Chains A and B, each alone.
Chain A
């Protein structure tokens, strides 16, 4: 037993001579800083999106209206519950809901700057019906036979869970030709 104690003591003292507390703190600090960056890696990003994190599409000049209102400009062809009323935002799913990887794309007119923007409508999936802010605006929407422009489809068919929670309207570009064509 004494021999074991002596060996451990020698090992610990040798370790203490080679390393200092500062070195340990520096490594711990580096580890913690690295860990903080881990969520930024593109792994299951859609599932981990912060509900209020502003996306690049939120840098558009002038955003009149309220994203929790069906009359909000970018909800012009939404058929579903606005995610901004469900713990998410106009462009991000609420925590615990997965954004459908497939959606449909149209355009909406932004009265603030008079421009038209291309909007990707995606559903957020994996949680029960949100039930708040049920919107049913169908500008530019097309019947079922033109399914890529149809908002009655549950786009959660492309997600891990078929269960529909709410819908987001993500600005993906500017439109020179509004949809529907004027």
Chain B
């Protein structure tokens, strides 16, 4: 039994190596976000919002949901798990914020299935403006 487990474990490792490891969130950020938000998250004044001050969004459920439902995030060509990891990474690295609890695939999947009709209004509402 142990031998069988060892063999299956080794097979799993080999399969993972052959399939290629999941790229780190930093790579997904470059490929899916940096074209507009820039490599450092600074954005473009008046054109693209910065990702450097998103902590206030985490203060309310609506704000937390907005960060997933906003079209650039919800429509990214990434599965729910990678998108959740990317969101957690952006919040930590760009905004110095710590999502509690961290975004996970289940939450992200449910939120991105509920598209925003008016992203700007939702943003203002989430920030209480």
Contacts and interface: CB of A to CB of B under 8 A. Distances in A.
Given A102-B36, A118-B31, A148-B35, A158 B21 contact: no
Question: Do most interface residues of chain B lie in helix, strand or loop, or is the interface mixed?
Answer: mixed
B27 A118 contact: yes
Interface of B: 20-24, 26-27, 30-32, 34-36, 38-39, 44, 47-48, 72, 77
A175 B23 contact: yes
28 contacts: A101-B38, A102-B35, A102-B44, A102-B47, A102-B48, A104-B35, A105-B30, A105-B31, A105-B34, A120-B34, A146-B77, A148-B32, A148-B72, A149-B77, A158-B44, A158-B48, A172-B30, A172-B39, A173-B26, A173-B27, A173-B30, A175-B23, A176-B21, A176-B23, A176-B24, A177-B22, A177-B23, A179-B31
B11 to A, nearest CB: 22
Q: Which interface class (under 10, 10 to 19, 20 to 34, 35 or more) fits A?
A: 10 to 19
Contacts, number: 51
A101 B38 CA distance: 8
A103 interface: yes
